[in-house]
Amino acid sequence: MIKPHGSDTLNPLYVKDDKARAALLKEAEGLPSLVVCSAAAANAVMMAGGYFNPLTGYMNKADALGAAEKMVTASGVFFPVPILNMVEDASSIQGAKRIALKDPNVEGNPILAVMDVDAIETFTDDEMKMMTDKIFRTDDMEHPGVKAFNSVGKTAISGPIQVLNFSYFDKEFPETFRTAYQIREEMEKLGWEKVVAFQTRNPMHLAHEELCRMAYHAVKADGILVHMLLGKLKEGDIPADVRDACIRVMAEKYFEPNTVLITGYGFDMLYAGPREAVLHALFRQNTGCTHLIVGRDHAGVGDYYGPFDAQTIFDEVPKGAMDIEIFNADHTAWSKKLNKVVMMRDVPDHTKDDFILLSGTKVRAMLSEGTAPPKEFSRPEVSKILITYYQGLEEKPEIKMGKHSG
C-alpha cells in the first residue's frame, strides 16, 4: 500500500473515542447550529473517513479558488476540487466561533459535526463562474453537477471540523460502506500491497468485470477494490442498494476468492468528468490503492466531456502531487471474432459490427420488458436483479428514485 496524500499517516476527522464523541455531542446541543446542504454533509463524511486527507476541515475562499483554478490551494496543498460548506444565508451563526452542523439527509436533522469557524466569506458571481467553469468545464445549468454547485448559495463557512457520525451511509449500507482507514485495515489483513481500484456509480456488466481483471493482471496486483458511490445521484441513475446487490452477486460468483473487496463511500456524485477523476485518484490513494482504473468518459455525464479527457487531465497534475498510478482503459466490449471481452484499442482489425454493443436506453428497455441482455453483455444473475428493479418502476412509478437520490 502507498502512503496517504499529503501526510505520512491518515488523519480521519471522525471522533473515534466514545467519551470524547459523547462530550462533543453534548456541547454541540448548546451551540448555534446550521443544517448544511447535502454536498457539505457528504464532504464531512468523506473527511471523517480520511478520504480527503490531508484536509482538516472546509476550505476558505482563497483555498477554494486555488483548488478550482490550479488544483492547488492557496496554502500549497494539491487538491483537484474545492471542498466547501456553502450556504445561502449565514446570519444565524454570525459572530459564532464554534457551531454545530446538522445533517440534511437524516430525519430530524441530527448533529453531524462540530466546526470551529475560521471565516465566513461570500464569493462574487465572477468567482462562482470561474470555479464552475474550471471544475465542470461548462456553466450549463442542465449539467447536474453545475446545477447542484450553483444552487446552495455563495457564502462559504470555513474551518476545522470534528465529525460525530457517518450520516445514513453506515446504517443503510452496513455491509458496504467503509472509511478509508477501514479499507487500509482490511487490505493489510489480506496482505495486499499492490491494489487496483475500480470506481463505479452503476451496476457492473461483463465488460466492467473483465476490465477489472485486465488491470489486475496487467499491473500484477494482489487485489481489486470495487468502490461504489453511495451518495446522491442524478434522476434516472440506479439506486445504491440495487447496484450493491448486482455487484455483490457478480463478485461472489465470478471472481476468485479473496481477490476483490466490495466497498462503498459516502459522497454525492459531481459528474465533473476530468476533475472528478483526479479527485477519485486522490481519495483512492488515501485508501492505500496503488492504481486507479480510468476508462472512457470517467465520471462524465451527457456529451460535456471528450471520451479520454479524464485520462489526459493527469498530464496537468504536478509531478509528485500524488503517488497513485492511473491505469488508462479504453472502451471494453465482447468481440464476436475472439469470443471474449476486449479493449477496442487492442483489436484494430475490428469494425463496430464485430462487437456486441448495447446502448443504455436499449438495455433499460429490455430490462423493463423482463428481457435479459445477452450473456456476452451482462451476467444473468445481475440481469435478474435489474429486471426486478425496472419492472418495479413500471408498477410503482412513485418509487422511481432511490431514497437519497436526486
Three cell numbers written together for 128: 462562482
Task: Please give the Cα distance from 355 to 363 (Å, whole number).
Answer: 16
The answer to whether residue 114 scores a pLDDT higher than 50 is: yes
- Write down which residue in 170, 185, 212 finishes a domain: 170
| Residue reference for cell 473483465 | 210
Task: Please give the Cα distance from 359 to 381 (Å, whole number).
Answer: 20
Query: Taking the model in full, what pTM does it have?
Result: 0.92
Cβ(160)–Cβ(57) below 8 Å: yes
Q: Is 53 a catalytic residue?
A: no
pLDDT confidence of 397, banded at 50, 70, 90? very low
CA torsion sign for 156, 159, 160, 161 is negative
Query: Distances in Å between the alpha carbon of 261 and those of 61, 178, 179?
Result: 37, 11, 13
189 and 165 share a domain?
A: no
2 lies in some domain: no
CATH code of residue 67: 3.10.400.10
Task: Please give the Cα distance from 192 to 194 (Å, whole number).
Answer: 6
What is the pLDDT averaged over residues 376-395? Answer: 88
What is the pLDDT averaged over residues 233-259? Answer: 88
156 and 32 share a domain?
A: yes
- Write down which residue in 170, 186, 217 finishes a domain: 170
50 lies in some domain: yes
105 and 199 share a domain?
A: no
Catalytic one of 202, 213, 328, 364: 202
DSSP string, 107-151: TT--EEEEEE--EEEE--HHHHHHHHHHHHS---TTSHHHHHHTS
pLDDT of residue 398: 44
252 and 379 share a domain?
A: yes
pLDDT confidence of 395, banded at 50, 70, 90? low
For the chain, give the number of residues: 406
Three cell numbers written together for 225: 477494490
What is the pLDDT averaged over residues 20-47? Answer: 97
- Write down which residue in 109, 143, 170 finishes a domain: 170
The average confidence (pLDDT) of the chain is: 93
Catalytic one of 21, 98, 201, 213: 201
8 lies in some domain: no
Q: Which of 54, 57, 77, 55 is nearest to 66 (CA)?
A: 77
68 and 179 share a domain?
A: no
> What is the domain count for the chain?
2
> Who has greater pLDDT, 401 or 246?
246
The answer to whether residue 254 scores a pLDDT higher than 80 is: yes
Domain holding 142, by residue range, is 18-170
Q: Is 328 a catalytic residue?
A: no
Task: Please give the Cα distance from 127 to 154 (Å, whole number).
Answer: 9
